[in-house]
Structure 1
Amino acid sequence: MTDRTSSVMLNRLRAVEWVGDRDHVLARVMSRRVLMREYLRRAALWAREYAVESAWPFFDATEYVDPGFRLSPEAVAELEVYLGRVPGPELRETCAGAVRLAVMRERNPAVLPDLPDLYEPLVLFYERGGEFVRDDAGGLDLTGVSFRPGTPQGNLATPPFQALDGTVLDALDARGRVSYYAHCAADGNRVLLVRRRVVRGGRHDEVFGPDLRWEPTDRLPETAEAIASAGLVLLDEIAAAGLIGDAVYRCTGRPVSRS
């Protein structure tokens, strides 16, 4: 394959287990849900940029960026062989788009819009558990969680998720029903992230500690009213992921965005 970047992206996709171990996939439900939400948001941005909302959400953006763009013959041949093993037309379309966009970015970055990388959240989603499928009602079954994709306009309002880092994604995954809360530290310079997990009726309260792990805590009062009175603010997954990303940056100095 003569296109170096197409080889890198294709090798990532080749490593995906499209139908993997169910327990392994279920253990990553939360991070996969956040990654899919971010992909749908980015796809809405790209669809709006090229006025192709009818193609949203799973499409090959390079067809609209530069209709005359072509991979090398060797890259086309390798990609076609790989796509023959990918289940489902929407998976094949986005895998092809990811490979082609990577090459387009290397060859002629000036042709691309000033938008976040379209396919990175979706490729990470694939790497963390394989396929998604459509259910009979048009929803997305991510294995362990299902939701409707909505509309391009609706997804434009989704808060961005920039912290595409393995440590952040791993920290989002947990068993049970999870609620996140933010609390200002005593020094006023840090925001502490705490969560409550309910697993089979059992409650587990945890704080995201300086060693980038969840540790038991007694900072969460028992009732919702007491939580609010204590100054704790309820967060969604995206906001929680942002605080985790901030903690990773403070501890390691490495950027957490791969957008």
Structure 2
Amino acid sequence: MVSDPAAARRMAERLAAVQWDDDAAYEHRRSRGRLTREFLRRTAQWSLTVGAEEGWPFSDLAGALDPEVAVDPALLDAVQIGAASAGAFPVRPEAARLMVRWAALGELPRQRFPQLSDPYEPLLVLFGRGGGYSLSHGSIELGYGSFPILSVAERAALEPVPIDEATLDALDHGSPGVR
């Protein structure tokens, strides 16, 4: 069994520190779309790799990688971010739990599959750019646009896109050459 309680706690703290801001979400609508695309691509690749396609894009990747991964139940309860504090598009409780469980794996994912990028980092960056999301009819709704989920295979086949801060900022500000 793998368990990194410190990493799980850090993830819970990151989730709790998110500041929901509708104006920021609007200003970052282009980058949030890119982050959603990259989140779907990464989780699709992980889902196929570890056999966790059921429930994708919110399948239990941590449980598929290590069925005995342990997280303090009180910590999982602490990440139940409510709609009242998060505005119209909060972190869905099941996504928060999945992200904390993933963090509890520590370095195991990188050790086993160094070619795959962290599946939840794009979602964390998206939260940091103003808000969450909701699910609607096969799409992720970002408030200022909808992003189709598509199939695991379709998303896994996509090429990665950069999600560094400079690229995301350039995308939001309409810089030439950034798509």
Relative distance call for 1:80 and 1:111 in structure 2 (3 A) is farther
Name the residue aligned to 1:117: 118
CA contact (8 A) 1:60 1:94 kept: no
Name the residue aligned to 1:54: 54
Q: TM-score, normalised by structure 2?
A: 0.82
**Which deviations, in whole Å up to 9, do the C-alpha atoms of 1:118-173 show, x marking residues without a partner?**
111111111212221123x3322111111211111111222202x33222211111
CA contact (8 A) 1:94 1:119 kept: no
Counterpart secondary structure, 1:140: strand
CA contact (8 A) 1:60 1:93 kept: no
CA contact (8 A) 1:132 1:140 kept: yes
CA contact (8 A) 2:26 2:144 kept: yes
Relative distance call for 1:132 and 1:103 in structure 2 (3 A) is same
Counterpart secondary structure, 1:105: coil
Name the residue aligned to 2:44: 44
C-alpha distance in structure 1 between counterparts of 2:110 and 2:157, whole Å:
27
Name the residue aligned to 1:92: 93
Counterpart secondary structure, 2:176: strand
Amino acid at match of 2:167: V
Displacement over 6 Å in runs of 4+: 86-90
Larger Rg computed on CA atoms: 1
CA contact (8 A) 1:13 1:127 kept: no
CA contact (8 A) 2:56 2:152 kept: yes
C-alpha distance in structure 2 between counterparts of 1:92 and 1:21, whole Å:
19
Name the residue aligned to 1:209: none
* Shift of residue 110, structure 1, vs aligned partner: 7.0
Name the residue aligned to 1:104: 105
Name the residue aligned to 1:82: 79
C-alpha distance in structure 2 between counterparts of 1:109 and 1:42, whole Å:
13
Paired residue for 1:194, among 159, 176, 179?
176
Q: Unmatched 5+ residue regions in structure 2?
A: none
C-alpha distance in structure 1 between counterparts of 2:14 and 2:139, whole Å:
27
Structure number having the greater strand percentage? 1
C-alpha distance in structure 1 between counterparts of 2:77 and 2:25, whole Å:
27
* Shift of residue 89, structure 1, vs aligned partner: 10
Name the residue aligned to 1:152: 152
User: Which structure exhibits the higher relative contact order, with contacts defined as CA atoms closer than 8 Å and separated by 6 or more residues?
Assistant: 2
C-alpha distance in structure 1 between counterparts of 2:147 and 2:7, whole Å:
33
* Shift of residue 84, structure 1, vs aligned partner: 5.4
CA contact (8 A) 1:9 1:98 kept: yes
C-alpha distance in structure 2 between counterparts of 1:77 and 1:38, whole Å:
30
Structure number having the greater helix percentage? 2
C-alpha distance in structure 2 between counterparts of 1:60 and 1:123, whole Å:
17
* Shift of residue 54, structure 1, vs aligned partner: 2.4
Aligned residues: percent identity?
A: 32
Relative distance call for 1:90 and 1:46 in structure 2 (3 A) is farther
Amino acid at match of 2:47: A
* Shift of residue 33, structure 1, vs aligned partner: 0.5
Amino acid at match of 2:80: L
Select between 76-85 and 108-117 the one with higher mean Cα deviation.
Answer: 108-117
C-alpha distance in structure 2 between counterparts of 1:22 and 1:89, whole Å:
11
Q: TM-score, normalised by structure 1?
A: 0.58
Counterpart secondary structure, 1:40: helix
Paired residue for 1:10, among 5, 12, 27?
12
C-alpha distance in structure 2 between counterparts of 1:98 and 1:112, whole Å:
18
